[in-house]
């Protein structure tokens, strides 16, 4: 069971230095809250499963990016008050040569793009730090990372807060042999990103696919809707869904988004 840190304790933590000590990855059983429907299945062997306090992932040792990341977010966690640290660091649970280093991204033109967003992990200081492990990153064009990808991150928190429902999210990268690499570690640049958003109360499922592009994709999420089955076919990953969910179903539009409600609540909580 996760513990939500109080605003007073967070204020104290914010005065400390940004250097932080990595903890060993946890046993997979400790990530049942982050994978409540089970572990996504990837046919490709040799990829490491990693459990952190706030998320779980499967890391591709060749591409040096995560194939998928799984986590849940609660309404309370959407208004966490830990400030963003930008404490990027290589993941010590992975050997050198099979992981991305911070320097791989330097002067590459790509953002260190989060899969599980820092904004979903701001309810605990160690969890916030762990969101900056390089095993949770992929090279993303700034227009994508700071644009439509961020729009969906913010929308998901707004949906959870307004509905008062817990949400399960899968996110990941889509790449192939023709995609370029960056840095000495040869970190693969995905040509697309995906996210599956599941309301654990209503069992509704939305799947999204975004091109990793230099072009501005706007703020409307609807054009990027797809089906879970289409993502499974493209990625080779089998995603556990709620009982009765139709993997072939492609929604017509997304839920309405009230960004202000969650933003105002966070401002009051974290003042």
Percent of the chain at pLDDT exceeding 90: 92
Question: How do residues 127-149 score in pLDDT, each as one tens digit?
Answer: 999 999 999 999 999 999 999 99
pLDDT at 74: 98
Domains of the chain: 7-269 (3.40.570.10)
Q: How many CA atoms lie within 13 A of 41 on its CB side?
A: 7
> How far is the C-alpha of 192 from the C-alpha of 237, rounded, in Å?
15
Tell whether the model's pLDDT for residue 150 goes beyond 50.
Answer: yes
Helix (H, G, I), strand (E, B) or coil at 201: coil
> How far is the C-alpha of 134 from the C-alpha of 52, rounded, in Å?
13
Question: How do residues 210-222 score in pLDDT, each as one tens digit?
Answer: 999 999 999 999 9
Which structure tokens are listed for 229? 């089955």
Question: How do residues 9-52 score in pLDDT, each as one tens digit?
Answer: 444 444 334 579 999 999 999 999 999 999 999 988 779 999 99
Strands, E, within the chain: which ranges? 41-42, 48-51, 56-60, 65-73, 111-114, 137-140, 167-174, 181-182, 187-188, 192-199, 205-211, 225-226, 237-238
Helix (H, G, I), strand (E, B) or coil at 104: helix
For the chain, give the number of residues: 271
Is the CB of residue 197 less than 8 Å from the CB of residue 157? no
Strands 137-140 and 111-114, bridge-based pairing: antiparallel
pLDDT at 247: 98
pLDDT at 13: 41
Helix (H, G, I), strand (E, B) or coil at 185: coil
> How far is the C-alpha of 128 from the C-alpha of 104, rounded, in Å?
22
Q: How many CA atoms lie within 13 A of 271 on its CB side?
A: 6
> How far is the C-alpha of 149 from the C-alpha of 221, rounded, in Å?
9
Within its chain, how far is the Cα of 107 from the centroid? Answer: 24
Question: Within 10 A of 222 (CB to CB), how many other CB atoms are there?
Answer: 10
Which structure tokens are listed for 104? 């791989």
DSSP classification of residue 23: P
> How far is the C-alpha of 171 from the C-alpha of 71, rounded, in Å?
9
pLDDT at 180: 98
Which structure tokens are listed for 144? 């994508």
> How far is the C-alpha of 101 from the C-alpha of 123, rounded, in Å?
26
> How far is the C-alpha of 234 from the C-alpha of 8, rounded, in Å?
46
Of 196, 209, 190, nearest to 100 by C-alpha is 190
Tell whether the model's pLDDT for residue 1 goes beyond 60.
Answer: no
Give 108's pLDDT tier (boundaries 50, 70, 90).
very high
Question: Cα–Cα distances in Å, from 204 out to 115, 129, 171, 193, 241?
Answer: 21, 31, 17, 21, 10
Of 63, 71, 192, nearest to 130 by C-alpha is 71
Question: How do residues 156-190 score in pLDDT, each as one tens digit?
Answer: 999 999 999 999 999 999 999 999 999 999 999 99
């Amino acid at each position: 069971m996760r513990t939500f840190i109080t605003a007073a304790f967070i204020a104290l933590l914010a005065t400390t230095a940004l250097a932080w000590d990595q903890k060993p990855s946890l046993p997979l059983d400790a990530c049942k809250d982050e994978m409540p429907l089970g572990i996504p299945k990837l046919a490709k062997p040799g990829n490491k499963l990693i459990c952190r306090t706030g998320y779980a992932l499967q890391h591709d040792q060749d591409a040096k990016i995560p194939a998928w990341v799984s986590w849940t977010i609660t309404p309370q966690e959407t208004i966490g008050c830990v400030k963003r640290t930008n404490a990027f660091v290589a993941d010590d649970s992975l050997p050198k040569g099979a992981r991305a280093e911070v320097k791989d991204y330097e002067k590459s033109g790509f953002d260190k793009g989060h899969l599980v967003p820092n904004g979903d992990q701001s309810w605990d200081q160690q969890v916030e730090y762990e969101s900056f492990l390089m095993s949770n990153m992929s090279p993303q064009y700034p227009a994508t990372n700071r644009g439509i990808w961020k729009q969906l991150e913010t929308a998901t928190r707004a949906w959870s807060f307004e509905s008062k429902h817990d949400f399960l999210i899968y996110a990941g990268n889509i790449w192939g042999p023709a995609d370029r690499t960056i840095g000495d570690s040869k970190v693969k640049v995905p040509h697309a990103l995906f996210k599956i958003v599941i309301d654990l109360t209503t069992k509704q499922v939305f799947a999204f696919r975004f091109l990793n592009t230099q072009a501005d994709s706007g703020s409307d999420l609807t054009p990027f809707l797809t089906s879970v089955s289409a993502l499974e076919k493209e990625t080779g990953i089998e995603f556990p869904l709620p009982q009765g969910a139709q993997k072939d179903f492609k929604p017509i539009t997304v839920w309405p988004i009230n960004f202000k409600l969650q933003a105002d609540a966070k401002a009051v909580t974290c003042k």
